[in-house]
A and B are shown apart, each in its own frame.
Chain A
Amino acid sequence: MVWIVRNLWLIPALPAAAAAVIALFRQAQRRLAAGLAIGTMGLSFLMALIAFAHMLAQPATEYVNFGWLQFGSEWLKFGWVLDPLAAVMLVMVTLVGLLIFIFSIGYMEHDENFTRFFCFLALFAGAMLGLVIANNLVLLFMCWEVVGLTSYLLIGFWYQRPAAAAAAKKAFIVTRVGDLGLFLGMLWLYSLSGTLVFYDNGGGCLEHAAIAAMAAHAAALGLTASSGIGLLIFCGAAGKSGQVPLHVWLPDAMEGPTPVSALIHAATMVAAGVFLVARMYPLMAATTNGGTSQALEVVAWVGAITALFAAFIAVAQDDIKRILAYSTVSQLGYMMLGLGVGGVAIGMFHLITHAFFKSLLFLGAGSVIHGCNGEQDIHKMGGLRKLMPITFATYAAGMLALCGVPLFAGFWSKDEILHAAHGWNVSAVPYYLGAAGALLTAFYMTRQVAYVFFGKQRETSEAVAHDAATAQGAGAHGAGETHESPAVMTVPLIILGLFATFLGFVGTPAWPWFQAFLEGQHATLDFGAFAGNGILPLMTISSLIVFAGLGLAWWLYGRRPIESAEARDALEQMMPGAFHVLAKRVYVDELYGVTVVRLAEWSARVMDWMDRWVWNGAVQAVAKIVAGVAWIDSSLDTAVINSGFDGCCEGVEHGGRLVTRTQSGRVQSYLRVLGIALIVLVLFLYWSRKG
C-alpha cells in the first residue's frame, strides 16, 4: 500500500485537530488561530496533490478498512477510499478552502470573533474532507452531519442578529428533512446488503455482487430496491444541495459572512449532495436491463426543474448575494441534471468548474461589499468598475464562466450537460428546461454586473452611514470612500479567476481528460471529436442562447447608465406583476410558512395539550389514587386499629374498675365473701367425697 493511501486520513484529521486546538485559544490570539488553520489546510492541500498525482499515475480504487465497533460477531468497519473521484474532490476542496481562508484574514479583520471564525472554518474543512474520503456510508453520514453543524454555526456567526439566527435554524431544519430520507435509505441498504462499507474486497455495498442483487430485488411502486434506496439517498442530497422544494434555506444562508457563503454555500457543502449522488452512482444507476434507472430519471427531472426555477427567481432579486445564492441553486440543478442524464463525469465536471467560478463570484461580491462599507443592495452600488478594477476584472471572468460564454470554464461543463440532456433517451424536455435556464443565467448575471460595476456611482453618504450602522461587520471603515480591497483579498481572487478562465480546457470534447480520468482511462487529444456526435451544432445553439441573454440584459440595463438608486428596474417596468412574484421568490417560503410551519406549530400545541391534560392528568390521577389509598389507610388505622386498641384498653380499664369494686374496704363484705367461700368449700368437699 502506498504511503499516501495509508495516511490519507491525515487530510481531514489535520484541519479537525487545528479546530480543536483553536477552540482553546482566547479571542486575542488571532494570528495564531489563522496561522494554524491555514497551515493545516496547506498541508492537506499538499497531501491532496500527492494523492492526485498517485491517481494520475495509477488510476484505481484503493481503500483501507479497519474495524471500529464490534457488536456480536460482526464488526462495523470504517475506512477511507482513494479513487479518481475522491482525488479530484480533495484537490478542489483543499485549494478553494485554502484560498478562502486567506481571503478571510482580510475580510474578517475588524470582527472581534476572528478566532471563533477560524475554528469553525477549520472544523468544516476537516468534516468536508472526511466526507470525501469516507469508505462507509455511516462515516460519510457522520461527516455530513458535522458539515451541517458547521454550516449552522457559520450562518449564525453573528448570532446577535435575529435574521442570522433564524436563517441558521432554517438551514439546519430544512436539511434535516432531507437527512431523514438519507437515513431511511441507509437503513434499507443495510438491511438488504448487510454492510454499509462501499468497497470491501468484493463484499461492499457498491460492489458488483450487492448491486446486482439489489437491482434485481423488486420493491414497492414498481421500483427496484436499488432505485428505491437511491431515491431515499437523493432526498438527503436534495436537502443539502438545495434542490426544489428543499431550496429555501440557501438564500437565507447568505446571512452568514461572505467567505462562508463562498466556501460552504457555493463550492463545497452544497456540492456534498452532488458528491453523494456521484459516490452512490453505481447503486443509483443499476438496472437489470440497461437504460436509465428510475432513480436517475427522478434526479434528472428534479435537477432540470430546479435549474430553471431558481434562474427565474434570480432575475428579480436586489441583494448581490441573493442573486448569487439563487444562481448556486440553479447551477446545482444543472449538476444533478448532468448526473442524471450523463453520468458521474459530466456532473462532477460542472461541480469542479462551478466551485471555482462561484467561489470567485462570492469572494468578489465580498470584496465589493467590503469596499462599499457593508452595502449589499445592487441598486445602491454602481460604477465600481473604475474604483475596484481588480475586483471588476476577476468578477467579470467569473461571470462569463458562469454564463457559459464560449471558451470559459463554465461553457465546456454546461455544454456537456446540455449535450447529454439533448441525447437523453427518456425525454428531451430537460434539455429545453436547461437551455431556458442558460438564457436566464446570462440575463441575470449581466443585469447584476450592469447594476454593480457600470452606470453612475449611486452611493449616497446617508446610505453609507446608514449601512455602516447595520453593516454585516464586513469592514465598517467608518464613513470612508469606496475603495479597492487589500492584497490579501485580491490575490485569491486573481488565482480563482485564472482557474475560472482556463480550467474548462481539461474537459473539452477534443481532449476529455477529466471524464477519462474519472473513469480511469487515458484521453487523447483529438480535434476531430468536435465534428462528430452533433457536438458542434449544439455548441453553436448554446452560444447563441448565451449571447441572446447577454444582449437582452445589456439592452435593458447597460445601454443607458442607471441614474439613481430609486429608479425602477427596467424589467419591472415592463412586467410589473411577474416581476413582483419573482422578487417575492414565488412565495415558496410563505407557502411553507402556511402549511408546514403551521402544521408543526399545531402539532406542538396538540402535544402540549396532551402533555398538560392527558399525561399530566394520568400522573395526577395516579398521585391522587395513591393519596386516596393513603387516606383510606390512615382512616382505617385511626378508626379501626386505633379505636380497636383504645377500646381494648378501655375494656381492660373498665374490667379493672369493676373488679375494684370488690375491694370496698368494708370488713363485712369481706366476711360475706368468706361465708360464701365456706359454703362452696363444704359443698365441694361433700360432693367430692360422695363421688
Chain B
Amino acid sequence: MTAPFVILAVVTIGGAVAAMTLRKLVHCALALAVCFVGLAGLYLDLNAQFVGLVQVLVYVGAVVILIVFAILLTRHDELPAQTNRTRVAGLGVSAVVFALLAWAVTAGGAQMGAAVAAPEAAMKDIGGALMQKYVLPLEVVGLLLTAALIGAVVIAMEEKKKAR
C-alpha cells in the first residue's frame, strides 16, 4: 500500500462517488473525467503504461466528451431524486454486492499478490502480440467499431418525414 496508490485510489473513488451523487449532470460528467484520470494513474502505478495512456485517450478524451455532448443535446430540467424505496433497494443491492466482493477478496487467502517486481510491458511486445497472437480480435474489434459508428449515426439521425 504505497502512498501513490492510496492517493490515486482516493481520487478515483472520490471522483466516482461525485459522479454518482452530484445533482447537475455536467458536474457528474466532469467528476467522471476526474475518476477516469485517477484510474489512468492507477494503471500507470501498476506498470501498465500503454493501458493508462489509452485510458486517458479513449475514456477521458472520447467517452466523457460523448457524455457531455449527450447532456448538452438532451435538455432536461433538474430531475427529482428517485423514490425512497427504489433508492434504498438499489443502495442495498450495491452494498450487498460490495460486501460480497470484499469478503471474497479478503477471505480468499493470500495465495498470490505478494509484492513482486513489476513486469515489463514493452510497446514492441504489445504491438507484436496484437499483430500476431491477437490479430483476429483486433480485426473484429475494428469491425465492431465500424458497426458502432454507423449504428450510432443511424440511431441518432433525425427521422425522415414519412413519404407522401
A24 / chain B contacts, CB cutoff of 8 Å: none
Quick check: A675 and B100 within 8 Å, CB to CB? no
B140 at the interface (CB under 8 A from A): no
Mark the stretch among B2-10, B35-43, B85-93, B124-132 that contacts chain A.
B85-93
Shortest CB-to-CB span from A662 to chain B, Å, is 13
B96 at the interface (CB under 8 A from A): yes
Shortest CB-to-CB span from B127 to chain A, Å, is 36
Count, chain B residues at interface, CB 8 A: 10
Considering the complex, which residues of chain A in the window 674-691 have a beta carbon less than 8 Å from any beta carbon of chain B?
Answer: 675-676, 678-679, 682-683, 686
* Given A675-B94, A679-B93: A668 in contact with B100 (beta carbons within 8 A): no
* Given A668-B86, A668-B90: A675 in contact with B97 (beta carbons within 8 A): yes
Quick check: A686 and B104 within 8 Å, CB to CB? yes
Shortest CB-to-CB span from A676 to chain B, Å, is 6
Total CB contacts across the A-B interface at under 8 A: 20
Considering the complex, which residues of chain A in the window 268-304 have a beta carbon less than 8 Å from any beta carbon of chain B?
Answer: none
A661 at the interface (CB under 8 A from B): no
Shortest CB-to-CB span from A399 to chain B, Å, is 134
B104 / chain A contacts, CB cutoff of 8 Å: 682, 686
Considering the complex, which residues of chain A in the window 640-691 have a beta carbon less than 8 Å from any beta carbon of chain B?
Answer: 668-669, 672, 675-676, 678-679, 682-683, 686
Q: Roughly how many angstroms separate A458 CA and B153 CA in the complex, as a whole number?
A: 148
B90 / chain A contacts, CB cutoff of 8 Å: 668, 672
B86 / chain A contacts, CB cutoff of 8 Å: 668-669
Shortest CB-to-CB span from A138 to chain B, Å, is 106
Considering the complex, which residues of chain A in the window 417-440 have a beta carbon less than 8 Å from any beta carbon of chain B?
Answer: none
Q: Roughly how many angstroms separate A669 CA and B94 CA in the complex, as a whole number?
A: 13
Quick check: A682 and B100 within 8 Å, CB to CB? yes
Of all chain B residues, the one with the shortest Cβ separation from A674 is B93
A683 / chain B contacts, CB cutoff of 8 Å: 100
Shortest CB-to-CB span from B109 to chain A, Å, is 13
Q: Roughly how many angstroms separate A675 CA and B50 CA in the complex, as a whole number?
A: 32
Write the A292-323 contact mask toward B (1 if CB under 8 angstroms, else 0). 00000000000000000000000000000000
Q: Roughly how many angstroms separate A669 CA and B104 CA in the complex, as a whole number?
A: 26
Of all chain B residues, the one with the shortest Cβ separation from A675 is B93
Q: Roughly how many angstroms separate A191 CA and B89 CA in the complex, as a whole number?
A: 107
Q: Roughly how many angstroms separate A391 CA and B64 CA in the complex, as a whole number?
A: 157
B89 / chain A contacts, CB cutoff of 8 Å: 672
Quick check: B100 and A672 within 8 Å, CB to CB? no
Q: Roughly how many angstroms separate A615 CA and B90 CA in the complex, as a whole number?
A: 82
Considering the complex, which residues of chain A in the window 164-222 have a beta carbon less than 8 Å from any beta carbon of chain B?
Answer: none
Considering the complex, which residues of chain B in the window 94-120 have a beta carbon less than 8 Å from any beta carbon of chain A?
Answer: 94, 96-97, 100, 104
A676 / chain B contacts, CB cutoff of 8 Å: 93
Of all chain A residues, the one with the shortest Cβ separation from B82 is A668
Q: Roughly how many angstroms separate A672 CA and B93 CA in the complex, as a whole number?
A: 7
Interface centre among A675, A678, A686 (most CB of B within 10 A): A675
Shortest CB-to-CB span from B3 to chain A, Å, is 33
Shortest CB-to-CB span from B80 to chain A, Å, is 15
Classify the secondary structure of B's interface with A.
Answer: helix
A686 / chain B contacts, CB cutoff of 8 Å: 104
B96 / chain A contacts, CB cutoff of 8 Å: 679
A679 / chain B contacts, CB cutoff of 8 Å: 93, 96-97, 100
Write the B62-75 contact mask toward A (1 if CB under 8 angstroms, else 0). 00000000000000
Q: Roughly how many angstroms separate A672 CA and B96 CA in the complex, as a whole number?
A: 12
Considering the complex, which residues of chain B in the window 15-66 have a beta carbon less than 8 Å from any beta carbon of chain A?
Answer: none
B82 / chain A contacts, CB cutoff of 8 Å: 668
A675 / chain B contacts, CB cutoff of 8 Å: 93-94, 97
Q: Roughly how many angstroms separate A29 CA and B89 CA in the complex, as a whole number?
A: 118
Shortest CB-to-CB span from B116 to chain A, Å, is 27
A682 / chain B contacts, CB cutoff of 8 Å: 100, 104
Q: Roughly how many angstroms separate A56 CA and B93 CA in the complex, as a whole number?
A: 139
Of all chain B residues, the one with the shortest Cβ separation from A682 is B100
Of all chain B residues, the one with the shortest Cβ separation from A666 is B86
Q: Roughly how many angstroms separate A679 CA and B102 CA in the complex, as a whole number?
A: 13
Q: Roughly how many angstroms separate A679 CA and B93 CA in the complex, as a whole number?
A: 8
Shortest CB-to-CB span from B25 to chain A, Å, is 17
Shortest CB-to-CB span from B95 to chain A, Å, is 11
Q: Roughly how many angstroms separate A669 CA and B86 CA in the complex, as a whole number?
A: 8
Of all chain B residues, the one with the shortest Cβ separation from A669 is B86
Q: Roughly how many angstroms separate A672 CA and B94 CA in the complex, as a whole number?
A: 9
B94 / chain A contacts, CB cutoff of 8 Å: 675
A678 / chain B contacts, CB cutoff of 8 Å: 97
A668 / chain B contacts, CB cutoff of 8 Å: 82, 86, 90
B97 / chain A contacts, CB cutoff of 8 Å: 675, 678-679
A669 / chain B contacts, CB cutoff of 8 Å: 86
Of all chain A residues, the one with the shortest Cβ separation from B107 is A686
Q: Roughly how many angstroms separate A675 CA and B96 CA in the complex, as a whole number?
A: 9
Of all chain A residues, the one with the shortest Cβ separation from B103 is A686
Q: Roughly how many angstroms separate A43 CA and B150 CA in the complex, as a whole number?
A: 134
Q: Roughly how many angstroms separate A619 CA and B97 CA in the complex, as a whole number?
A: 81
Of all chain A residues, the one with the shortest Cβ separation from B96 is A679
Shortest CB-to-CB span from A582 to chain B, Å, is 123
Q: Roughly how many angstroms separate A683 CA and B94 CA in the complex, as a whole number?
A: 15
Shortest CB-to-CB span from B61 to chain A, Å, is 28
Shortest CB-to-CB span from A519 to chain B, Å, is 133
Of all chain A residues, the one with the shortest Cβ separation from B101 is A682
Shortest CB-to-CB span from B90 to chain A, Å, is 6
B93 / chain A contacts, CB cutoff of 8 Å: 672, 675-676, 679
Shortest CB-to-CB span from A315 to chain B, Å, is 128
Shortest CB-to-CB span from A364 to chain B, Å, is 130
Shortest CB-to-CB span from A444 to chain B, Å, is 129
Q: Roughly how many angstroms separate A668 CA and B96 CA in the complex, as a whole number?
A: 17
Shortest CB-to-CB span from A90 to chain B, Å, is 124
Q: Roughly how many angstroms separate A227 CA and B100 CA in the complex, as a whole number?
A: 124
Shortest CB-to-CB span from A688 to chain B, Å, is 14
Q: Roughly how many angstroms separate A185 CA and B100 CA in the complex, as a whole number?
A: 116
Shortest CB-to-CB span from A673 to chain B, Å, is 9
Q: Roughly how many angstroms separate A676 CA and B93 CA in the complex, as a whole number?
A: 7
Shortest CB-to-CB span from B40 to chain A, Å, is 27
Q: Roughly how many angstroms separate A678 CA and B93 CA in the complex, as a whole number?
A: 10
Q: Roughly how many angstroms separate A669 CA and B97 CA in the complex, as a whole number?
A: 16
Shortest CB-to-CB span from B39 to chain A, Å, is 22
Shortest CB-to-CB span from A556 to chain B, Å, is 137
Shortest CB-to-CB span from A350 to chain B, Å, is 129
Shortest CB-to-CB span from B16 to chain A, Å, is 17
20 examples of A-B residue contacts, CB within 8 angstroms:
A668-B82, A668-B86, A668-B90, A669-B86, A672-B89, A672-B90, A672-B93, A675-B93, A675-B94, A675-B97, A676-B93, A678-B97, A679-B93, A679-B96, A679-B97, A679-B100, A682-B100, A682-B104, A683-B100, A686-B104
Which 10 residue pairs of A and B lie closest in terms of their CB atoms, listed nearest first? A675-B93, A679-B96, A672-B93, A682-B100, A672-B89, A679-B100, A676-B93, A679-B97, A672-B90, A675-B97
Beyond contacts A676-B93, A678-B97: 9 other A-B pairs, Cβ-Cβ < 8 A, are A672-B90, A672-B93, A679-B93, A679-B96, A679-B97, A682-B100, A682-B104, A683-B100, A686-B104
